[in-house]
Amino acid sequence: MTTTATGQAPGTVPAPAEPRDDVVTDERRYLTFTLQDELYAIDILQVTEIIEFRSLTVVPMMPPFIRGVLNLRGRVLPVVDLAARFEHGATEVRRRTAVIVVRAGGEGTATQDVGVMVDGVNKVIHLGADDIEPPPAFGAGVRTDFISGMARADAGFLIVLNTAQVLAGAAELADAVRADAVRADAVRADARADGEAGG
């Protein structure tokens, strides 16, 4: 009988390994990305997907860090310009510019998907509690309440973001953006209907 490299017959699923009581880990996975030559990380459990940057629809009367909205499989997705959120100016769109879709809200508020615009997505890393140091009192270039901690990276340090603080209020803004987009679609539909009726 033919077997695979693991000694299993083709088409069979290997039995799960028995849990080991002597192995204890507090490591979590983080998605790392770059923004204006700085390296950042967010908990991978808060990330729903990563998409290429695409043309956005600007929504009037929104904070400067709300870059616009995009249509994600029929859903209106507000996109936050993270650099503008940090008051570092608007992000310049380049070849590697990406949108990380993050689940915002929770703890008594409704969760909403919000896009976070970054210069480029790097890789997923594992960090344990011992790998993350408390946020500095100053000098990180980002508000301290936006930072969960600092961790060593290949070329210095990376900033682990507190997404709850970074996106504080973003879920509510997302609702407002979606409502504006729905109203705008309704107005356009009415205009098309009037035009067809008049024609």
Name the token pair of 182.
């729905």
Residue 4 lies in a domain: no
Residue 138 lies in a domain: yes
Point out which residues pair with 72 in neighbouring strands. 75
Range 182-189, long-range pairs (CB < 8 A, 24+ positions): 182/76
pLDDT at 84: 92
Beta-strand (E) ranges in the chain?
Answer: 28-35, 38-43, 47-52, 66-72, 75-81, 98-106, 109-118, 120-127, 132-133, 147-153, 156-161
Residue by residue, pLDDT tens for the chain (199 residues) are 444 444 444 444 444 445 444 444 568 999 999 999 899 999 999 999 999 999 998 888 888 899 988 989 888 888 999 999 999 999 999 999 999 999 876 565 667 889 999 999 999 999 988 888 888 776 567 888 899 999 987 767 899 999 888 888 666 666 666 666 666 666 666 667 666 666 5
pLDDT at 199: 59
Residue 10 lies in a domain: no
Domain range holding 77? 28-191
Residue 11 lies in a domain: no
Cα–Cα distance between 21 and 198 in angstroms, integer? 76
- The helix/strand/coil state of 67 is strand
Residue 36 lies in a domain: yes
Residue 149 lies in a domain: yes
**With contact defined as beta carbons under 8 Å apart, do 106 and 3 qualify?**
no
**With contact defined as beta carbons under 8 Å apart, do 146 and 42 qualify?**
no
Indicate which CATH number applies to the domain containing 98: 2.40.50.180
Residue 182 lies in a domain: yes
Residue 9 lies in a domain: no
**Per the structure, how many domains does the chain have?**
1
Q: Which amino acid is at 110?
A: A
Cα–Cα distance between 43 and 38 in angstroms, integer? 17
